[in-house]
């Protein structure tokens, strides 16, 4: 400890130290993520094709795998200042409770009303849509953070916002809907009867609790059927990881300020937006041969795309209306068990994260639900923050790694992403508090069914 | 603007700049708040009498009206560092939306899981209880912030925590209960059948939605009937205002750092803990003749203790088991309309705030509920924070004052307290979103009934 500067509980950058550019990790990847394919022609999506779905600037960002730094427009930087820089917290209290020699830090992205990191990309996507003169955007939301974030960004800019919310979340989280409505959004449980694809899925899977993949299909159809609307997506896409790089850039700047060198970086992974954003600048250093880190992606055992999925081209959505992406996937027809709380329910993984995993830059581990909530409770009681179930996947593995340090006596430095708060997850916490939470792990046979639906590319 | 330093969106103090002492405004008051009276003898409560209810150090603080600064123990300062310093935010976006020349700042106390400023006193009270070797504490909670805060503090220190929660809040906010349970607390809706006083009130007022005064009586009885327990209270008491002075001290340090001189300071007022804490150092300057400010207390029109109450000795609780306090009060039998959302439902006002109001150091204004939610929505959409209904009372008046500046062209500097977030108030927001919210103002005859119950002292 003696050679270190005294490290505060929370490292806040000055506003003047906030990133002025996003970092595009694809520029430093030798093996680029595979391109999106047109589902009709199976050829790489062109800019002209993409701009029918996304607004122009975002289509450009989606295709750009060579420019390492992309300027953050001033208006977005001003919006960021409402809730950023987010603190990098030294988990002194957790370290003490665990009695570990490990040094634990977390980058806390939950200090905003959307309750998560999703706002970082929501404002960027809404900004470009507004700049292009669009009327509004449509989207899906799973656990609700993305929909809330987008509602906030649209309210700020004066854009219409239509949200298709995965049905089981809509029912588990009625108050999420009201937050979005307070921000002026229209919220529809998905699958709905408002779209063709929604009606088709309801017929095919009566009583389905929905999935992100299905809600995406509905939102894409809704955007396509209206003038002046585009579809926006909260994860998976390379443009989203670009915007989320602000997490990693701030985290790295804060670590550098105190001369802290992490040994491992841990993030939860659903579609990959938080993980990809957090690790981007660190992975960049690894790709350029400047540094080495252990990077660990944590996913739920109930939806294990990295640890048990296939690396293949797949549909991004259940309705198969979106471009194909090469990713670690469980198949677009895979619908996670309804018993699984919160987000991280997506069948596939960001192409960027998938390629980094394929290239062994990233490790992956899956954890079960009750162990995740046990970590959440432990963390909440000593660190004072009630974490989102999604974030708690990273907490679980951070605690496990810190306990390994206790055994070996190693003073490793662990950084994890605390993506959000759990204030809208109290139905799940109630189940855990009442001892009624159960685990679910899909059988190999169940996974095979999902794989059978993979397109032949 | 030119002579000012460029002011960031959020002013964060360094941890080293955080207050090391609380400020006790009573020391600078010429007219001291009237002492608590023993309900039996009607004589001022002695230390010996008070220590039967409160733990020793807190009884001492309650009686101390001469020591201006009291050291914050290191353990409490360490806990504060988990969520403090809280930001002083320049409301650039609100100013722009209002097109006002006024400069608006708010001290945001909602960035912690309890969702409000209540944690500042909860950790202090729990700490002194632990230090005295007690097993646990009992308390009441209204809107739920105080109960959550105390649960968090008790979980951190390993103390038992029993919470009596006002019944209408218990029903409106089921998820609050789960947060408290996640932190290990026992939560009982009040009035309950667990205490004599609860049973008596249920018989007398069948179907009552409860009140803070009633929940206090139950918590006091519960503490008195067990070994190793004391009662703790989240507002009203002078000790609570002492702990909450950390809000005002930080706010003043942040303002001083940028050479900002506020013209007015606005806070919502239920029992007075936030308002008293926020204004303490500023009122101190006024009392010492060093500065002048407009200080505005904002209360709900449905529970108007300052604007329509009497300045008199009254019971602090409905069950009349607590000491008498001299305060602006509606009478301990006054129970606010169940239609009123959130907190600020207490019949009386802190003795310190009451005396400052009596001495014309403070103004008071009451506002109606729908106007408060309109301000909350407007604020949320431009400032990105979904405010608690309680805090939104202050937002309403801050906006009104900023609009007056727009008329007159005055560049006044407005500071208000944003005490917390509204994530657990979505039932109320839903009512507002659906246009189903109504206002309620008690008639003079209804108030007279409350006054008729005032003790003859």
Distance CA B326, CA B163 (A): 26
Residue-wise pLDDT for B410-419, tens only, equals 999 999 999 9
pLDDT, one tens digit per residue, over B84-131 is 999 999 999 999 999 999 999 999 999 999 999 999 999 999 999 999
Environment class of A436 (CB within 10 Å of its CB; exposed 0-12, middle 13-18, buried 19+): exposed
A52 and A122 share a domain? yes
pLDDT, residue A142, reads 84
Given a contact cutoff of 8 angstroms between Cβ atoms, the answer to whether A451 and A443 are in contact is no
Q: Rounded CA gap, A121 and A126, in Å?
A: 8
How far apart are the CA of A178 and the nearest CA of chain B, in angstroms? 6
Residue B2 has pLDDT above 80, yes or no: no
The CB-side HSE value for A445 (13 A sphere, CA atoms) comes to: 0
Tokens of B337: 């309309």
Q: How many domains does chain A have?
A: 2
Burial class (CB in 10 A: 0-12, 13-18, 19+), B96: exposed
Q: What is the DSSP string of B15-81?
A: GGGS-SEEE-GGGG-SSPPPPPB-TTT-SBPPHHHHTTTS-HHHHHHHH--S-SEEEPPHHHHHHHH
Judge whether A103 and B92 are in contact, CB under 8 Å: no
pLDDT digits (tens, 9 = 90+) for B137-163: 999 998 899 999 999 999 999 999 999
Cβ-based contacts of A86 with chain B (< 8 Å): none
Q: Cβ of A424 and B424 within 8 Å?
A: no
C-alpha–C-alpha distance, residues B280 and B28, integer Å? 10
pLDDT, chain B, mean: 94
Q: What band does B174 get if pLDDT is binned at 50, 70 and 90?
A: confident
Confidence of residue B342 (pLDDT cuts 50, 70, 90): low
pLDDT above 60 for A109: yes
**Choosing among A95, A161, A175, A434, which should be mutated to test the B contact, i.e. which has the most B CBs within 10 A?**
A175
- Residues A323, A378 within the same domain: yes
- Give the whole-angstrom CA distance, residue B242 versus residue B360: 21
pLDDT higher than threshold 90 for residue B321 = no
**CA-CA distance, A252 to A417, in Å (whole number)?**
12
pLDDT digits (tens, 9 = 90+) for B46-70: 999 999 889 999 999 999 999 999 9
Phi/psi at B160 (nearest 5 deg)?
Answer: -65, 150
Rg, chain B, Cα only: 20
For B85, the closest chain A residue by CA position comes to A10
**A96 in contact with B at a CB cutoff of 8 Å?**
no
What percent of chain A has a predicted confidence (pLDDT) above 90?
87
Q: Is residue B240 part of a domain?
A: no
Read off φ and ψ for residue A338, nearest 5 degrees. -65, -20
Q: Do B113 and A15 touch (CB under 8 A)?
A: no
Distance CA A411, CA B294 (A): 54
B361 and B291 fall within a common domain: yes
Residue B236, domain member (yes or no): no
How many CB atoms are closer than 10 A to CB B124? 28
pLDDT at A4 over 50: no
Asked whether residue B364 falls in the same domain as residue B264, the answer is yes
Residue A342: pLDDT over 80: no
Give the domain-ending residue among B231, B257, B279: B231
Is residue B312 in some structural domain?
Answer: yes
In a domain, B238, yes or no: no
Number of CB pairs < 8 Å for A and B?
119
Q: What are phi and psi of B418, to 5 degrees?
A: -100, 95
Question: Is residue B183 domain-resident?
Answer: yes
Looking at residue A338, what is its pLDDT? Answer: 73
One domain, residues A301 and A430: yes
pLDDT in tens, B72-86: 999 999 999 999 999
CA–CA separation, A247 vs A244, rounded Å? Answer: 6
- pLDDT attached to residue B320: 83
What's residue B60's pLDDT?
A: 98
- Where does a domain end: B200, B231, B262? B231
pLDDT band at residue B345 under the 50/70/90 scheme: confident
Per-residue confidence (pLDDT) for residue B3, from 0 to 100: 40
- Pair B197, B296 in one domain: no
Contacts of B424 in chain A (CB under 8 A): 423
Report the 3 state secondary structure along chain A. CCCCCCCCCEECCCHHHCCCEEECHHHHCCCCCCCCECCCCCCECCHHHHCCCCCHHHHHHHHCCCCCEEECCHHHHHHHHHHCCCCEEECHHHHHHHCCCCEEEEEECCCCCCCECCHHHHHHHHHHHHHCCCCEEEEEECCCHHHHHHHHHHHHHCCEEEEEEEHHHHHHCHHHHHHHHHCCCEEEEECCCCCHHHHHHHHHCCCCCCCHHHHHHHHHHHHHCCCCEEECCCCCCHHHHHHHHHHHHHHHHHHHHCCCCCCEEEEECCCCHHHHHHHHHHHHHHHCCCCCCEEEEEEECCCCHHHHCEEEEEECCCCCCCCEEEEEECCCCCCCCCCCCCCCCCCECCHHHHHHHHCCCCEEEEECHHHHHHHHHHHHHHHCCCECHHHHHHHHHHHHHHHHHHHHCCCCEEEEEECEECCCCHHHHHHHHCCCCCCCCCCHHHHHHHHHCCCCC
Mean pLDDT for the stretch of residues B176-185: 95
Same domain, B198 and B325: no
To the nearest whole percent, how much of chain B has pLDDT over 90? 87
Locate A303 and state its tokens.
Answer: 């939806």
| A269 and A290 in a common domain | yes
Specify whether A332 is located in the same domain as A404. Answer: yes
Kindly give the pairing relationship between strand A136-141 and strand B160-166. Answer: unpaired
The pLDDT score that the predictor gives to residue B1 is: 39
Give CA–CA dist B23/B118, Å, rounded: 17
Give B78's contacts in chain A (Cβ within 8 Å).
92
Q: State the nearest Cα–Cα gap between A74 and chain B, in angstroms.
A: 14
Residue A369 lies in a domain: yes
Determine the structural domain holding residue A388 and report its residue range. Answer: 3-18+84-115+246-452
Give the residues across from B71 on adjacent strands: B21
Which chain A residues are Cβ-neighbours of B80 within 8 angstroms?
none
Residues 361-420 of A with CB under 8 A from B: 377, 380-386
Per-residue pLDDT at A169: 83
Name the residue among A65, A232, A277 with its Cα closest to residue A132: A232
Quote the pLDDT of residue A1.
39
Interface touch A174/B426, C-beta < 8 Å: yes
| A438-450 burial: b if 16+ Cβ within 10 Å, else e | ebeebeeeebeeb
Decide: B36 and B354 in contact? Cβ < 8 Å: no
Quick one: closest CA in A to B386, which residue?
A: A113
By percentage, how much of chain B surpasses pLDDT 70?
98
The answer to whether B424 contacts chain A (CB < 8 Å) is yes
Q: List the single range of A279-293, B20-34, B319-333, B374-388 with lowest mean pLDDT.
A: B319-333
Q: Which residue of A has its CA nearest to B109?
A: A111
Using CA atoms, how far residue B450 sits from B215, B270, B334, B345, B388, in Å, is 18, 17, 5, 14, 28
At residue A2 the predicted structure's pLDDT band, cuts being 50, 70 and 90, is very low
Asked if B155 reaches chain A (Cβ–Cβ under 8 Å), the answer is: yes
**pLDDT, tens digit (0-9, with 9 covering 90-100), for A14-36:** 999 999 999 999 999 999 999 99
The shortest CB-CB distance from A384 to any of B14, B82, B426 is to B82
Q: B362 by DSSP, 3-state: which?
A: coil
CATH number of the structural domain spanning residue A344: 3.40.50.1100
Going by pLDDT thresholds of 50, 70 and 90, the confidence category of residue B274 is very high
Q: Are residues A124 and A88 in the same domain?
A: no
Are residue A260 and residue A193 in the same domain, yes or no? no
Q: What is the pLDDT of residue B340?
A: 75
The pLDDT score that the predictor gives to residue B173 is: 81
B404: in domain: yes
| Chain segment A362-419, per-residue pLDDT in tens | 999 999 999 999 999 999 999 999 999 999 999 999 999 999 999 999 999 999 999 9
Contacts of B12 in chain A (CB under 8 A): 12
Domain boundary among B180, B205, B231: B231
What integer is the mean pLDDT of A242-260?
98
Nearest CA in chain B to A123: B384
Q: Residue B449: pLDDT band by 50, 70, 90 thresholds?
A: very high
Q: Which of A9, A155, A179 sits opposite B15 (nearest CB)?
A: A9
Q: Given an 8 Å threshold on Cβ–Cβ distance, is A179 in contact with B429?
A: yes
Q: Is residue B239 situated within a structural domain? A: no
Instruction: Tell if the CB–CB gap between A386 and B182 is shorter than 8 Å.
Output: yes
Task: Provide the ipTM.
Answer: 0.94
Domain co-membership, A107 together with A165: no
Question: Is the confidence at residue B244, as pLDDT, over 90?
Answer: yes
pLDDT in tens, A201-231: 999 999 988 888 889 999 999 999 999 999 9
Tens of pLDDT, residue by residue over A31-60, are: 999 999 999 999 999 999 999 889 999 999
Three-state secondary-structure class, residue B241 = helix
A17 touches chain B (CB under 8 A): no
Tell which residue, A419, A115, A90, has the closest CA to residue A268: A419
Taking CB atoms and an 8 Å cutoff, what residues of chain B touch A115?
423
The answer to whether B258 faces chain A, any CB pair under 8 Å, is no
**Mean pLDDT in residue range A268-278:** 96
Residue B342 or residue A358, greater confidence? A358
């Amino acid at each position: 400890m003696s050679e270190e500067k005294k490290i505060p509980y929370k490292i806040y950058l000055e506003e003047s130290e906030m990133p002025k550019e996003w970092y595009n990790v694809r520029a430093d990847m030798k093996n680029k993520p595979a391109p999106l394919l047109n589902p009709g022609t199976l050829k790489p999506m062109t800019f002209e094709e993409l701009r029918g779905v996304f607004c122009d600037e975002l289509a450009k960002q989606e295709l750009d795998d060579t420019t390492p730094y992309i300027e953050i427009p001033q208006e977005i930087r001003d919006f960021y200042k409402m809730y950023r820089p987010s603190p990098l917290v030294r988990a002194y209290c957790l370290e003490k409770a665990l009695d570990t020699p490990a040094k634990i830090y977390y980058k806390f992205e939950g200090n905003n009303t959307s309750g998560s990191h999703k706002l970082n990309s929501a404002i960027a996507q809404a900004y470009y849509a507004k700049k292009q003169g669009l009327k509004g955007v449509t989207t899906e939301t799973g656990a609700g953070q993305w929909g809330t974030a987008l509602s906030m960004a649209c309210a700020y800019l004066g854009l219409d916002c239509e949200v298709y919310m995965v049905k089981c979340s809509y029912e588990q989280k009625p108050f999420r809907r009201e937050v979005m409505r307070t921000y002026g959004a229209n919220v529809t449980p998905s699958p709905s009867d408002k779209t063709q694809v929604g009606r088709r899925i309801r017929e095919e899977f009566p009583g389905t609790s929905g999935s992100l993949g299905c809600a995406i299909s509905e939102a894409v159809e809704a955007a396509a059927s209206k003038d002046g609307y585009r579809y926006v997506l909260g994860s998976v896409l390379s443009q989203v990881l670009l915007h989320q790089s602000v997490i990693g850039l701030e985290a790295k700047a804060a670590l550098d300020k105190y001369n802290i060198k992490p040994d491992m970086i841990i993030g939860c992974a659903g579609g990959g937006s938080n993980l990809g954003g957090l690790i981007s600048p660190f992975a960049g250093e690894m790709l350029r041969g400047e540094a080495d880190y252990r990077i660990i992606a944590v996913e739920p055992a109930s939806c294990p795309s990295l640890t048990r999925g296939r690396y293949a081209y797949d549909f991004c959505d259940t309705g198969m209306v979106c471009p194909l992406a090469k990713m670690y996937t469980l198949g677009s027809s895979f619908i996670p068990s309804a018993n699984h709380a919160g987000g991280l329910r997506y069948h596939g993984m960001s192409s960027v994260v998938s390629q980094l995993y394929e290239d062994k830059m990233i490790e992956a581990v899956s954890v079960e639900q009750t162990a995740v909530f046990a970590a959440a409770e432990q963390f909440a009681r000593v660190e004072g923050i009630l974490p989102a179930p999604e974030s708690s996947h990273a907490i679980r593995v951070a605690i496990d790694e810190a306990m390994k340090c206790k055994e070996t006596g190693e003073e490793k430095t662990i950084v994890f992403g605390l993506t959000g708060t759990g204030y809208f997850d109290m139905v799940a916490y109630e189940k855990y508090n009442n001892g009624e939470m159960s685990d679910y792990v899909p059988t190999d046979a169940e996974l095979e069914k999902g794989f059978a639906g993979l397109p032949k590319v």
